[in-house]
Structure 1
């Protein structure tokens, strides 16, 4: 395990664990193949994108939020996959998820129009 900083190494959107699998599938369908971190112990997942590219939007709420710059995020080794503890649902190294892909998926899940600010990134 190691600790990385949001805003410096990644931007991370925290979502409730029950929403994680559907959001990961929707991201993949939208062409997003960036890392997705699952934490069954705490009941949250993290959808990751490049640092400094993601902005919070009207999709935030009901347990979904962009982690602030400087927030510490613990990550496992890249080969740690499903288990009872922190693991990679989508491991790093397999592609990227852009901020626009993540914004589109989160907006769709929240039933919002893509005309929201920040959706053009």
Structure 2
């Protein structure tokens, strides 16, 4: 029975072998085995922020934070946002930057959540960060809580009902 090995002579052009599978619950662009470069703008937008501001923003956002990458050596964090929601003209937070479309970001396997190289702070399975909330958090402000919009039906249900005279 042949044993499959992952040595230096592997064909690295076959990314399906190295990428997340649908049953993993992760996007396909998250690698399974080794860190790979993925272009911004297609699957995500990336906001680059210095570690101090990024850690503070991450604490402010709490469970409302989407995918986040951190790199110990560069002291840079990347907040990954849903593509197409932010334009360079609209992103005005000092000291941070919206990475241009086509810029390469190192994406580690989902299992890399600690260590000195690039690692996940929040995995992509957690959803997306709201760009406005991230902007507020990076500026040091707690974002306004998201209140669900009331449906038309719920408004009519809250009207007082007429009472009949006794």
The bucket for the TM-score relative to the shorter chain is 0.7 to 0.9
Instruction: Tell me the matched-pair count.
Output: 106
Higher strand share: 1
Larger Rg: 2
CA deviation after TM superposition for structure 1 residue 94, in Å: 1.9
Structure 2: 5+ residue stretches without partners: 1-34, 145-166
Per-residue CA distance 1:18-50 (angstroms, 9 max, x = gap): 22211111122xx62311100011110001110
Structure richer in helix, relative to its length: 2
Counterpart in 2 of 1:5?
39
Q: Secondary structure at the match of 1:84?
A: coil
The 5 A counterparts of 1:94-105 are 94-105=126-137
RMSD: 1.9
CA distance in 1, matches of 2:101, 2:72: 24
SS at match of 1:93: helix
Kindly state the Cα deviation for residue 105 of structure 1 after the two structures are TM-superposed. 2.2
For the structure 1 residues 100 and 18, does the alpha-carbon distance in structure 2 shift closer, same or farther, using more than 3 Å as the test? closer
| TM-score normalised to structure 1 length | 0.77
The 1:58–1:33 alpha-carbon spacing in structure 2 relative to 1, beyond 3 Å, is closer
Q: TM-score, normalised by structure 2?
A: 0.58
